[in-house]
């Protein structure tokens, strides 16, 4: 979070409103790669505005590209094995068909007294072996197909990993800090850039305990910027526990007061940025 700059002690404005000063904060998003490696380039710097889909940085993918080539070779090899196995299946069943025809012929000859029981028995044995070979060949085809699917899955996974070496912004944001430089080696999940979500800025102020009973979630507030711009907002969060006023707030007397952190949602169209001071005015109930 962006540190709070100051708090204006609760005071009446013409007896109608109470004003508090704080700073604009945004939700921070750490831009990190899911893969490790050497940073090739970082395409954004502190303060840059980025849009969803913009490439933020790239990690060296040479090793992964070599792995992709290896995976593709594995897919080709598995496909070749499947094709060869299917050819063996066709040959095996052709042998079965031929032996069946021959056995039928011998049976007919045997009925005429020309063929012998030995010939018939021999052909029946050969037919049984041929059927077993055909079944085994079909099993090889199934194994080759499974190996092909595994090779395809491995290729898809590696290709996806290559794609993840280019990291894009998930949201419209501003770069709050650039944490790594090209040439550095990063690990998976290591933050390269810290982004601030500009779509949902908020103003954090600290409200004294004595005034909390007048404040609730959804309460309206008027927002004033130092440049004179004015907008509206609503309370989106109230801290569940009180705390002492932050050290950088006004006088020592004020810093010992117990206060609650209050976040006010601010219209992004107001043109606010992280760290910008602003004033919130609450209607006095």
99-128 pLDDT, tens per residue? 999 889 888 888 888 888 888 899 889 989
CATH code, 251: 2.40.30.170
| Rounded-to-integer distance, Cα 169 and Cα 198, Å | 13
Identify the bridge partners of residue 206 per DSSP, sorted by sequence position: 261
Q: Is 218 exposed, middle or buried (0-12, 13-18, 19+ CB in 10 A)?
A: exposed
**Same domain assignment for residues 145 and 189:** no
Q: Which residue segment(s) compose the domain that 233 sits in?
A: 1-26+200-285
CATH code, 35: 2.40.50.100
Q: pLDDT-derived band of residue 168, with 50, 70 and 90 as boundaries?
A: very high
pLDDT at residue 247, as a whole number: 52
Give the containing element (helix H, strand E) for 18: strand 17-25
- Total domains in the chain come to 3
pLDDT at residue 4, as a whole number: 37
pTM of the model: 0.65
**Same domain assignment for residues 34 and 170:** yes
**Same domain assignment for residues 245 and 228:** yes
Q: pLDDT-derived band of residue 9, with 50, 70 and 90 as boundaries?
A: very low
**Same domain assignment for residues 129 and 156:** yes
| Rounded-to-integer distance, Cα 190 and Cα 30, Å | 9
**Same domain assignment for residues 14 and 42:** no
Average confidence (pLDDT) over 231-242: 88
Residue at a domain's end among 144, 177, 197? 197
Q: Is 180 exposed, middle or buried (0-12, 13-18, 19+ CB in 10 A)?
A: middle
**Same domain assignment for residues 66 and 148:** yes
Terminal-to-terminal C-alpha distance of the chain: 31
Q: At residue 15, does pLDDT exceed 60?
A: no
């Amino acid at each position: 979070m962006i540190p709070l700059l100051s708090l204006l002690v609760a005071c009446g404005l013409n007896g109608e409103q109470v004003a508090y000063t704080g700073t604009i904060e945004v939700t921070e998003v750490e831009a990190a790669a899911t893969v490790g490696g050497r940073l090739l380039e970082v395409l954004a710097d502190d303060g840059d505005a980025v849009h969803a889909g913009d490439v933020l940085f790239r990690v060296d993918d040479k090793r992964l590209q070599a792995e992709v080539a290896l995976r593709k070779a594995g897919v080709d090899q598995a496909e070749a094995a499947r094709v060869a196995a299917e050819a063996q299946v066709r040959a095996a069943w052709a042998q079965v068909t031929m032996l069946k025809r021959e056995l039928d012929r011998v049976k007919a000859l045997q009925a005429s007294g020309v063929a012998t029981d030995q010939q018939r028995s021999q052909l029946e044995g050969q037919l049984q072996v041929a059927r077993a070979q055909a079944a085994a060949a079909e099993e090889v085809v199934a194994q080759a197909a499974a190996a092909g699917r595994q090779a395809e899955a491995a290729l898809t996974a590696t290709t996806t990993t290559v794609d993840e070496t280019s990291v894009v912004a998930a949201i419209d944001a501003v770069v709050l800090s650039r944490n790594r430089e090209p040439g550095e080696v990063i690990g998976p999940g290591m933050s390269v850039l810290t982004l601030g979500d500009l779509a949902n800025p908020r103003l954090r102020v600290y409200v004294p305990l004595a005034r909390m009973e007048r404040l609730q979630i959804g309460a309206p507030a008027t927002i004033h910027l130092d440049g004179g711009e004015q907008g509206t907002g609503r309370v989106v969060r109230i801290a569940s526990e009180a705390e002492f006023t932050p050290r950088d707030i006004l006088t020592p007397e004020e810093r010992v007061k117990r206060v609650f952190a209050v976040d006010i949602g601010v219209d992004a169209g107001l043109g606010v940025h992280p760290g910008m001071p602003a004033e919130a005015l609450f209607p006095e109930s």
